[in-house]
Structure 1
């Protein structure tokens, strides 16, 4: 059973979304919240495997909430559901740590698909947004500045491995992995661990996609 928290300051939309999500087999809405404070309280009270968050909340913005969630629950899927145009806000959502972005005017089928993608550990951004992020990844602060070993470490981090798990995979010590991680963060101008994980995951997604296209 996938337990879901819905965060939106409009009760009618929140209740309607809860009804739709509750109809998905093996999904259950265990809590609802209207603000960042009540959302964090619900997360500490309930076991949750997915959070659906509106971008605009009456008390504290959705992006701030995503950052707070990432600070405590690094691997928890967070999907933003917003009325605001993704061209303006989806990239900001990604930088904050959101797993995906769906606009409220999109069909239920789009949201349904996005929910399943993020629960499976994938991203749920449109092709246009993903393309923008990929171009940025390949830009001046891209992975071209990383050494071969740093690329290997970055790739394994994108697979979801911790530093202690990366070390034996590469037959090096955890301290050496930490040194490589520090170099990666410096070269890619990454300030926070959650951003490192998301950038690494995006890198691996891009790399896997490129390999698939070549085969």
Structure 2
């Protein structure tokens, strides 16, 4: 056992949720040195994860962002609404600060990229288990000041015509800005745009 683990208890029970079996196996091996009596349970989708949670308590859940039956952040928000107190850290193939920001906004205590090596992974997991929220370097929204104004008005439920009147811009200009916002957030509707912006902490 490495020195960084000495503050952890001898017994820990973790739940790893990821739809790739080989990744779960590798993750289990990488986490094995955390403590002498480490129990690891795995789930490959949200339904399996919820079944595990009904059967026992866990010290930490490591949750993938992309699951076959429900998005990881949606699952995390569901657990938050249910009042589930188990700490959750997001494990993701993404190194995006935007994804990290969305994870923290949804209630995760940390965001760990899958590109982390074994030592980095154990260090991150240890810090979350000890009650830390992993520090993040969060980028400001990659939006222009004008786009941020339009996003705020969109969130207020204003139609394009009202936004253009409010900002003194042509309606076509508003549409151009909205198209850029939709592309940035990878959405296709106004409601989804506002929802995605809130998830990322932009609103």
Q: What is residue 111 of structure 2 aligned with on the other side?
A: 101
Q: What is residue 55 of structure 2 aligned with on the other side?
A: 45
- Distance in 1 between residues matched to 2:71 and 2:58, nearest whole Å: 20
Matching residue within 76, 85, 89 for 1:79:
89
Q: What is residue 116 of structure 1 aligned with on the other side?
A: 126
Q: What is residue 32 of structure 2 aligned with on the other side?
A: 22
Structure whose residues are more often helix by fraction: 1
Q: What is residue 177 of structure 2 aligned with on the other side?
A: none
**TM-score relative to the length of structure 1:** 0.56
Q: Which has the higher contact order (CA 8 A, sep 6+)?
A: 2
Aligned residues: 133
Q: What is residue 43 of structure 2 aligned with on the other side?
A: 33
Counterpart of 2:101 in 1: which secondary structure? helix
Q: Does 1:55 align with 2:37?
A: no
- Distance in 1 between residues matched to 2:102 and 2:79, nearest whole Å: 15
**TM-score relative to the length of structure 2:** 0.59
CA contact (8 A) 1:6 1:33 kept: yes
Deviation by residue 1:98-144 (Cα, 9 ceiling, x = unmatched): 11001111222222111111111110133x13x86xxxxxxxxxxxx
Counterpart of 1:20 in 2: which secondary structure? helix
Deviation by residue 1:8-41 (Cα, 9 ceiling, x = unmatched): 0000001110122223214523411011111011
CA contact (8 A) 1:40 1:69 kept: no
- C-alpha spacing 1:73/1:110, structure 2 compared with 1 (3 Å): farther
Q: Higher Cα Rg: structure 1 or 2?
A: 2
Q: Which runs of 5+ in 2 are unaligned?
A: 1-10, 141-203
> CA RMSD for the aligned pairs?
2.4
Counterpart of 2:34 in 1: which secondary structure? coil
